[in-house]
Structure 1
């Protein structure tokens, strides 16, 4: 029968870990003394004495665990005092038992002339018990540090998730405001059929947006579908003034990208390239793979803009700033977001991120 030990569960159970380490330590003590006895011409009965002494040490140090628990929150000076006194008292008792074992079993009932001779060699036992105490406190502090480290990691993970959720959901009110404002305008000019179409498409887009966990990446295929929902809403507004061109490499369809990462880029292009031109314009979304990177480009043929240090001088909303912060949070430094002038006119935004598959 094979017995499997769940070491993770064992290490997380502090009480079980103590008993395992405590027993293993005293067994090791007995084994080392046994190896030492082989160098001397000792009778076989000495092995019994070794293990009796180890067992006595095992018993006497168990109460120290509960004493040290009580003293754990004492000031350092008091803890040191408790450890030294407890170790010395335990060491003396242990040495008395060891002397009795040796004299009664190995020396056939030898009795010393003075009773205090039962405590001779107590200093060595005191040092051993003091070492046990040091190991106990050291292991306790190590466990505390590990727990604190786990708590810090959990806190950082929660903060990281909160940041991503904030950045992700920050887009919805921004987009929602613009769309509702457009619907309101359509109602005022009695374009009710068009307004109803926009409301329907808006509900589909928001349902998609809310169904997707902002902490998880989605496939590029899914992200393009979400972008097409958004652009379908905008096409209701702009009709023929908005031209779209998707150039998606087939081997990129299943690549993972942050959910709703393209929508703010398309929204920027519509706001600054399509809406400001009477004849409208076009937006081109192209995606390719280069080595281990996924390359995404969102380009328009609008009037262009002043670009300073890779950022749009006109940028005053949350679009590019939000996108950059989300990429930073998800990929650390393994990404790039570059804004440049498109040829012959317009602006293009290039994203580079690790190519990952689900």
Structure 2
């Protein structure tokens, strides 16, 4: 049985609970009757009483539906009055059934005797009403919770897409600037190579869904593609070292997680030195976490409270926001000075295996 579909179908859910409740009422009374020396016909009385309760409480559902938007005081009045009326009617039916069948056609001296013990029946119906409103309010709260979660998910997805798409224009501007410079100095072959690499890079970013994580091997490929573009510009001045532990190739990471960090390293470590520099990428697993590190051997920077004071673009701020949106508090991003020189960025995220 598909329980989720059953619960979400409110009409079907009502009939299941309604029937199960009155069946339970009959079962409890039957088990209680076994403690007394009663004739077998009493089981029929119990069944008829439960069936009468099942039938007579159905109209209450429609009464309460109409009263649903009333003020709390009016709802309470409707519930009490309706429960009392239905309770009295039910008690009359129970007394009539008991006296007619079990007592062989006994008739009381006064018709009001048919309503005796109505208070107990009133309590039963009042309990049914309480359960009805309790379940109804619970369903309403669950529905509101689902709506809030859905709205948060949509906002969350929109935020991630916005953060992801901030990267491409930023990188594109810098690359086109470099291509323009190469053309001005008549380095047409280098400019052509960079345009080719750029088209491959942009094709990759457009093909990947920014809402989905990618495998580390895929992320490393796009990082290498990005660095190849920069190598056209820097040639031997840019050196790259990549060290990936075995078993981490299929780990899931946010797409384009390395690119803005690598862009910062190139801008502030490679481009500022005549001899260029090295970008080192290291990935390893530690327990249930995946550790990502990107380091350079540039001149370093002033670091305060984990922030780089040299940064003017989206870079690390964008990366922090993306990690926060994806992992909440289950991540860390630490910026520190590298040894003997430069800056290193360490990211810790949950280790998730991809296919």
TM over 0.5: yes
Q: Residue in 1 aligned with 2:206?
A: 210
Secondary structure, counterpart of 1:282 in structure 2: strand
Pair 1:38–1:249, CA change in 2 (3 A) = closer
The alpha-carbon deviation at position 271 of structure 1 amounts to 0.4
Indicate whether 1:57 and 2:53 are aligned.
yes
Mapping of residues 270-349 of structure 1, within 5 Å: 270-349=266-345
Give 2:250's match in structure 1, choosing from 250, 254, 258. Answer: 254
Give 1:109's match in structure 2, choosing from 105, 128, 144. Answer: 105
How many Å separate the matches in 2 of 1:318 and 1:232?
Answer: 22
Q: 1:130-155 deviations in whole A, cap 9, x for unaligned?
A: 11111111111111122222222222
Give 2:147's match in structure 1, choosing from 145, 148, 151. Answer: 151
Q: Residue in 2 aligned with 1:36?
A: 32
Give 1:89's match in structure 2, choosing from 76, 82, 85. Answer: 85
Pairwise CA RMSD of aligned residues?
1.8
Mapping of residues 161-180 of structure 1, within 5 Å: 161-180=157-176
The alpha-carbon deviation at position 272 of structure 1 amounts to 0.4
Q: How many residues align?
A: 354
Of residues 34-43 and 204-213 in structure 1, the stretch that sits farther from structure 2 once superposed is 34-43
The alpha-carbon deviation at position 67 of structure 1 amounts to 1.0
Structure 1: gaps of 5 or more residues: none
How many Å separate the matches in 2 of 1:222 and 1:236?
Answer: 22
Pair 1:30–1:294, CA change in 2 (3 A) = closer
Q: 1:285-326 deviations in whole A, cap 9, x for unaligned?
A: 222333333322222222211111222121222111112222
The alpha-carbon deviation at position 252 of structure 1 amounts to 2.4
How many Å separate the matches in 2 of 1:96 and 1:297?
Answer: 80
The alpha-carbon deviation at position 83 of structure 1 amounts to 1.1
Secondary structure, counterpart of 1:277 in structure 2: coil
Secondary structure, counterpart of 2:57 in structure 1: helix
The alpha-carbon deviation at position 227 of structure 1 amounts to 0.5
Indicate whether 1:226 and 2:222 are aligned.
yes
How many Å separate the matches in 2 of 1:39 and 1:356?
Answer: 60
How many Å separate the matches in 1 of 2:261 and 2:291?
Answer: 14
How many Å separate the matches in 1 of 2:291 and 2:125?
Answer: 65
Indicate whether 1:78 and 2:74 are aligned.
yes
Secondary structure, counterpart of 1:23 in structure 2: helix
How many Å separate the matches in 2 of 1:22 and 1:277?
Answer: 78
How many Å separate the matches in 2 of 1:355 and 1:32?
Answer: 52
The alpha-carbon deviation at position 12 of structure 1 amounts to 1.9
Structure 2: gaps of 5 or more residues: none
